[in-house]
Amino acid sequence: EVQLVESGGDLVQPGGSLRLSCAASGFTFSTYAMHWVRQAPGKGLEYVSGISNTGSRTYYVDSVMGRFTISRDNSKNTLYLQMGSLRAEDMAVYYCARDYWDYWGQGTLVTVSS
Amino acid sequence: DVVMTQSPLSLAVTLGQPASISCKSSQSLVHSDGNTYLSWFQQRPGQSPRRLIYRASNRDSGVPDRFSGSGSGTDFTLKISRVEAEDVGVYYCMQATPWAWTFGQGTKVEIK
């Protein structure tokens, strides 16, 4: 059974940093690109970042470029999102999803507040 | 960036009646490989999104056949032939062209 389990969400002050993780199981992680999508409270889905199966290619939405870094460890079947210079507008539930978009995690909540 | 525009943004439907959601992209979604990378997702209250349709018209396994996707180029439609109570939620289109993914704003479907 394919499973994606996010963790790392927390309350952080504006300007702070946080690292999210997404633990994958039930499929060959190293053969799939992976993605992060977020959803601010009461708002729609926003694509955040993606990474190729080997990690050699990455993509970021403009609003997080230079502040967030996506990475993966195929030996640990884990996807990461390093978030820095956090702003109030980054507050959201963050989902990881497998390429082809057929499996999503349950999400992890990032709260940015002083 | 490709902009995805959904309409309507909210839809109240009587049980058993049809519903239709439009999604328009700012540029053609036909990829150089010949595929059209347009997907539809359902997000029920309190749940993660679930893919319903991929490549514009292919229904995912386990998705009821009352859901159908159609369209090509820049204009796409998700139809629910007979709305049921479990269909309440927000529906999103997403252009899944590799390395340029964007979502529509979402359409909230509720029961009248």
Q: Give pLDDT tens digits for A12-61.
A: 999 999 999 999 999 999 999 999 999 999 999 999 999 999 999 999 99
CA distance A85 to B69: 40
CA distance A100 to A34: 9
- Chain A interface includes B56 (CB < 8 A): no
Higher pLDDT among residues B1 and A66, named by residue: A66
| Beta carbons within 10 angstroms of residue A80's beta carbon | 20
CA distance A33 to A54: 8
CB B89 within 8 A of CB B43: yes
Averaged pLDDT score across all residues of chain A: 97
Q: Give pLDDT tens digits for B15-60.
A: 999 999 999 999 999 988 999 999 999 999 999 999 999 999 999 9
Nearest alpha-carbon partner for A95 in A31, A32, A46, A59: A46
Cα nearest neighbour of A45 on chain B: B103
- Work out the minimum CA distance from A56 to partner chain B, whole angstroms: 13
CA distance B16 to B86: 12
Q: In this structure, what DSSP letter does residue B36 have?
A: B
CB A51 within 8 A of CB A57: yes
- Written as one letter, the residue type at A26 is G
Averaged pLDDT score across all residues of chain B: 96
pLDDT at B10: 97
Cα nearest neighbour of A95 on chain B: B48
Half-sphere exposure of residue B69: CA atoms within 13 angstroms, side-chain side: 26
- Chain A interface includes B50 (CB < 8 A): yes
- Work out the minimum CA distance from B61 to partner chain A, whole angstroms: 10
Q: B68-96 burial string, b = 16+ CB within 10 Å, else e?
A: bbebeebebbbebeebeeebebbbbbbbb
pLDDT at B39: 97
